[in-house]
Amino acid sequence: MDGKLRADEVAVTKSILKSTFDMWMDLIDVDVVIVGAGPSGLTAAKYLAQNGVKTVVLERHLSFGGGTWGGGMGFPNIVVEKPADEILREAGIKLDEVIGEPELFTADSVEVPAKLGVAAIDAGAKILTGIVVEDLILKEDKVSGVVIQSYSIEKAGLHVDPITISAKYVIDSTGHDSSVIHTLARKNKDLGIEVPGEKSMWADKGENSLTRNTREVFPGLYVCGMAANAYHAGYRMGAIFGGMYLSGKKCAELILEKLENK
Ligand code: 48F
């Protein structure tokens, strides 16, 4: 070691191309594709991956965390209620008690997605950012994977054919957009799928319906997080997030059960 930094252009470019190619070759066929790296998707990824399930999370933006970063109206805190606090504690996230509200905690809206993302990655999930899921693979009336495009190509409006990732199960955790189940409904009218969208705010009802609404809605396709409430016309809940984490965990448990019984 002479202390000199080595930065050869050819070596840098070769390193990027080789590692990217190897990564993609490994990811074209997985157990579970999770669409959307918000709180519910990241939680599902953590629990699936830590149980040995080959899991890839696809996120349109370059950052993961979805709607968490901005807290409530840009105030950098979110609220989490029991028993979902355990999921955050497991990821090493600090929670502050709310005086006079023994069931509620606040958490830093930057710390939460950062540590939850790390927990999912450490568990073995792969998070790919800048990738949009624009369609599904639909074979013999079962969702068997996703059709993906680079977000920059989509945003530029270029006509470029996509590529695919095959999967045993796909999770729609795209939040308020519920864009995966919407795409399935829009492109396959013969299936008669309707997505009513979420209702206005009623925090208690919205939170309590989330885990109930988390389920397989079409063979091979699960909904979790806000997408589950959008699919079932559930209420919105604002900056309280416990239901999102519990929904992600439940979705992982449902898929683990399916994989075990195969
Ligand atoms: O919206 P989001 O955080 O989903 P969530 O896990 O959590 C909802 C809460 O954040 C909040 C709330 C709590 O009261 O209501 O809104 O249900 O994260 C969804 C992620 O999916 C990405 C999007 O960029 C966001 O980061 N996404 C949406 N459509 C696609 C997508 C797509 N077609 N392909 C890839 N990523």
Tens of pLDDT, residue by residue over 221-243, are 999 999 999 999 999 999 999 99
Kindly report the number of other CB atoms within 10 A of residue 93's CB atom: 20
DSSP string, 132-194: EEEEEEEETTEEEEEEEEEHHHHHHT-----EEEEEEEEEE--GGG-HHHHHHHHH-GGG---
Average pLDDT, the chain: 97
Give the architecture (CATH level 2) of 28-69+109-261. Answer: 3-Layer(bba) Sandwich (3.50)
Any atom of ligand 1 within 6 Å of the Cβ of 179:
yes
CA–CA distance, 123 with 22 (Å, rounded to integer): 20
Any atom of ligand 1 within 6 Å of the Cβ of 71:
no
CA–CA distance, 258 with 253 (Å, rounded to integer): 9
Tokens of 225: 């997080």
Average pLDDT over residues 75-79: 97
Q: What is the pLDDT of residue 31?
A: 98
- Cβ atoms 109, 78 nearer than 8 A: yes
Any atom of ligand 1 within 6 Å of the Cβ of 106:
no
Domain boundaries, the chain: 28-69+109-261
Tell how far the Cα of 99 is from the centroid of ligand 1, in angstroms. 30
Task: Quickly state the pLDDT bin for 262 (edges 50, 70, 90).
Answer: confident
Q: Is the pLDDT score of 2 beyond 90?
A: no
Tell how far the Cα of 1 is from the centroid of ligand 1, in angstroms. 46
Kind and range of the H or E run holding 245: helix 242-260
Tell how far the Cα of 34 is from the centroid of ligand 1, in angstroms. 11
Any atom of ligand 1 within 6 Å of the Cβ of 226:
yes
Any atom of ligand 1 within 6 Å of the Cβ of 241:
yes
Closest of 231, 163, 173 to residue 197, by C-alpha: 231
Average pLDDT over residues 132-156: 97
Which pTM value belongs to this model? 0.98
- Cβ atoms 255, 205 nearer than 8 A: no
* Annotated binding-site residue numbers for Fe cation: 161, 176
pLDDT in tens, 11-25: 999 999 999 999 999
Q: Is the pLDDT score of 6 beyond 90?
A: no
